[in-house]
Amino acid sequence: MPEGVEFIVRAILIGAGATVILDGWALLSTRAYGTPAPRWDLVGRWIAQIPRGRFVHASIGQTPPVRGELMIGWLFHYAIGIVYAALLLAIWGLGWARHPTLAPAVILSLLTLAAPFLIMQPGMGAGFAASKTPDPTAVRLRSVIGHTVFGLGLYAAAVVSARLIG
């Protein structure tokens, strides 16, 4: 298979697989520990407002709902997972995907904490690194755990895709 096609296929498989693992963790965490479930509807609302010129909100929950926001949020969630997998492949190469190791996946997943802390949470009204939330430490810890689980998922999905593709 041509390398460009292989890159795209692996990015999709690894990114979507890691995102499924993250979603499984979120479901388990919600059911077992009462952790708040991700609000992909609010993420979708935020994303839908960006082309309308609204990037920053005082509170995304107070912004009027947008048609299809839940679907938009889920699609964005999986698209970001695939983009992060593509970034991992762009940095460490297809050789990593053919013979995955844990460290690059976890390193990248922790570096991507910059996105929620610096872009998403401030944009949705939660402040820098969730500073405006009732319990910023808990929100930050959930973000770190979630990104770590995603990193483990990147590695696990890469192992599976290496067995499937070679």
For the chain, the structural domain boundaries read 3-36+80-165
Give the position of tokens 């872009």.
119
pLDDT for residue 166: 78
| φ, ψ dihedrals at 53, nearest 5° | 90, 5
pLDDT by 10-residue block (mean), the chain, 166 residues: 95 98 97 93 97 94 96 98 98 97 98 97 96 96 97 98 92
pTM above 0.85, yes or no: yes
CA nearest neighbour of 85 among 146, 17, 149: 17
H helix intervals, the chain: 3-33, 40-49, 69-98, 102-111, 114-115, 121-123, 136-165
pLDDT for residue 1: 86
